[in-house]
């Protein structure tokens, strides 16, 4: 049988069609696969980009928080804790991860009612990778919010500054902001280049405790007595500072009302400023100690001199008189112990007003306070004294200085005449000696110590001396009318007591302030001897045993302080 061409025609055509369709299908599949690869690749790249972006946002925040190292602890001179860092949870959100905005706002608002709903919604309804919701929360609050199980809501641990003593030494310590950066007091100083230099000189690690000169025991005692003064005398404020006369170290510094540095906002309330370094006041007759020191050291006045205090002194339309004046000739010792304004003016005039003004510069009253605290204020003293200006300045009116300026000057007057700048850091006697400057002679220093002790025994410091009996305190009261609306108001007093102890071997100087004191009872008064003086006595009574000062009841010690030229005469009375 023969096979013709026609017999092969149909099978060959069918096989070719099948092959063609198969090739077409394979081509389409390859295109689809390629498209899917490209699509999923693009999606993958986008997801990676989003992940990196979000991680970058969170990482940047974390890096910024981690960039600030933990602050060094602050301790007192005996190593007792004043400030430290603790770890606390802080709440943040990743808005991109939040699934149900309304649910998140509702649940968080229920747990954090102090946050406004609109503010919270605005925070969560964004495209950021990281936003803070609430910093420095309690562990209990963290647990409650964590149990809500809200996607995009989480916590990170931060350092928070903690002050175990709360208000104790608050004006010294200052405070930090939410990022743990110092914003006031020694906390701000710790962030300064100056403190870095101190650390370098000490070869100390940056995280090592910062040891202050403050003695927490003395600080507590001073704070307690000043708090009592606010109640006892119904005063609007009280303050005090205690300084080592040899080293310049500040052992205690209190200004009431104070604040809790754990809540820095409380420092913004009215009246909560450091009156010791950031307030300037007319310190009244405490300035008579300064006048006596300058006049005696100039040689223009002798301890044996007498001064006419029989009549008021007139300067044109101004008349200056004594408070309960003796109306007679007074010895220099009597001018001081009777706090005679007239006699003090005569002493200053013998020295000369220009020489007196120069002496105020010599004792540092024109200089900014040499203290680590950023909260300081300069004195307000006329550059040139008029006759009447010098007269009123001699007894502490018409010029204002910080209480720490006065404490530093008093320390110098009883420290053999050597002035040492005050500090809130530990300082050795050798370091202090290198910084010291002589402002009066040793002989003048001995005479000032005698006058200050005399005033405690026979003058306006008698009430103080009775309370601190045995610790040989010497000092001078100061009572000044406050300036209200540009005029002196004799119904509002500002009282001060500037002192040192023990006067036979001076170790500490102290200034106490009481603002607008009232009578404690019907028999008492409102001048400084009744309030600032008494507070001084109670403080010394408490802190002298703490500081290792033994009581001395020997009358011989007081007798030995009387200058030789005054012994066996009635001039020392």
Catalytically annotated residues: 285
Q: Which helix (H) or strand (E) holds 511?
A: strand 508-515
- According to DSSP, the β-strands at 182-184 and 131-134 are unpaired
Q: Do 242 and 106 touch, CB atoms closer than 8 A? A: no
3-state secondary structure of 130: coil
222 class by beta-carbon count within 10 Å (0-12 exposed, 13-18 middle, 19+ buried): buried
Give the Cα separation of 190 and 85 in Å (integer): 14
Alpha helices in 376-421 (DSSP H): 387-394, 403-414
The angle at the Cα of 470, spanning 469 to 472, to the nearest 5 degrees, equals 95
Contact 330, 309 (CB under 8 A): yes
Rounded distance between C-alpha atoms, residue 422 and residue 411, angstroms: 10
Cα separation values, 385 from 288, 388, 390, 399, Å? 17, 8, 5, 11
SS3 content of the chain, % helix, strand, coil (to 5): 45, 20, 35
Report whether 297 contacts 350 (CB < 8 A). no
By the 8 A CB rule, do 273 and 279 touch?
yes
The token duo for 21 is 């369709």
Both tokens of 478, joined, read 């100061």
Identify which of 182, 150, 148, 154 has the alpha carbon closest to the alpha carbon of residue 90: 154
Q: What are phi and psi of 72, to 5 degrees?
A: -70, 145
- The rounded distance, in Å, linking the Cα atoms of 519 and 501 is 27
CA dist list (Å): 471 to 304, 530, 555, 558 = 27, 19, 12, 11
Determine the 3-state secondary structure of 241 from DSSP: strand
Alpha-carbon separation of residue 396 from 54, 136, 271, 314, 364 (angstroms) = 66, 49, 24, 18, 16
Q: Cβ distance 180 to 69 under 8 Å? A: no
């Amino acid at each position: 049988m023969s096979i013709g061409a026609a017999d092969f025609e149909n099978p060959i055509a069918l096989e070719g069609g099948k092959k063609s369709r198969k090739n077409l299908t394979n081509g389409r599949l390859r295109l689809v696969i390629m498209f899917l690869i490209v699509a999923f690749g693009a999606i993958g790249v986008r997801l990676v980009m989003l992940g990196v972006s979000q991680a970058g946002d969170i990482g940047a925040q974390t890096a910024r928080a981690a960039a600030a190292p933990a602050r060094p602890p602050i301790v007192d001179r005996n190593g007792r804790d004043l400030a430290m860092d603790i770890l606390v949870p802080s709440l943040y959100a990743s808005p991109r991860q939040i699934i149900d905005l309304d649910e998140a706002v509702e649940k968080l608002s229920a747990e954090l009612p102090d946050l406004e709903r609109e503010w919270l919604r605005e925070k969560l309804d964004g495209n950021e990778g990281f936003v803070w919701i609430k910093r420095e929360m309690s562990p209990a609050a963290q647990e409650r919010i964590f149990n809500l199980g809200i996607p995009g809501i989480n916590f990170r641990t931060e350092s928070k500054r903690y002050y175990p003593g709360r208000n104790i030494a608050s004006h010294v310590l200052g405070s930090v902001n939410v990022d743990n950066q110092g914003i006031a007091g020694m906390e701000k100083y710790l962030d300064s280049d100056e403190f870095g230099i101190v650390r370098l000189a000490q070869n100390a690690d940056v995280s090592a405790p910062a040891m202050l000169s403050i003695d927490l025991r003395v600080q507590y005692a001073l704070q307690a007595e000043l708090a009592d003064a606010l109640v006892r005398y119904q005063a609007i404020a009280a303050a005090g500072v205690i300084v080592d006369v040899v080293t310049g170290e500040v052992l205690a510094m209190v200004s009431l009302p104070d604040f809790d540095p754990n809540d820095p906002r409380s420092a913004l309330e009215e009246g909560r400023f450091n009156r010791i370094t950031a307030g300037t006041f007319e310190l009244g007759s405490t300035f008579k100690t300064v006048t006596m020191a300058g006049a005696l050291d100039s040689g223009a006045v002798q301890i044996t001199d007498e001064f006419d205090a029989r009549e008021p002194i007139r300067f044109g339309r101004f008349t200056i008189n004594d408070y309960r004046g003796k109306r007679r000739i007074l010895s220099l010792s009597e001018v001081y112990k009777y706090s005679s304004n007239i006699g003090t003016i005569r002493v200053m005039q013998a020295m000369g007003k220009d020489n007196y003004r120069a002496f105020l510069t010599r004792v540092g009253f024109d200089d900014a306070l040499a203290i680590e605290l950023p909260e300081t204020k300069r004195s307000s003293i006329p550059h040139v004294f008029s006759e009447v200006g010098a007269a009123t300045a001699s007894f502490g009116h018409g010029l204002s200085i910080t209480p720490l300026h006065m404490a530093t000057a008093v320390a110098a007057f009883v420290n053999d005449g050597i002035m040492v700048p005050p500090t809130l850091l530990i300082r050795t006697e050798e370091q202090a000696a290198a910084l010291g400057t002589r402002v009066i002679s040793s002989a003048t220093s001995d005479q000032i110590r005698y006058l200050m002790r005399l005033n405690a025994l026979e003058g306006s410091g008698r009430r103080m001396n009775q309370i601190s009996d045995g610790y040989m305190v010497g000092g001078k009261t100061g009572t000044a009318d406050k300036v209200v609306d540009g005029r002196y108001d004799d119904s509002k007093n500002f009282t001060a007591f500037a002192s040192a102890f023990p006067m036979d071997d001076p170790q500490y100087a102290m200034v106490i302030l009481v603002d607008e004191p009232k009578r404690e009872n019907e028999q008492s008064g409102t001048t400084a001897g009744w309030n600032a003086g008494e507070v001084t006595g109670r403080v010394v009574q408490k802190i002298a045993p703490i500081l290792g000062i033994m009581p001395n009841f020997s009358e011989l010690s007081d007798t030995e302080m009387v200058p030789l030229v005054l012994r066996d005469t009635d001039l020392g009375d």
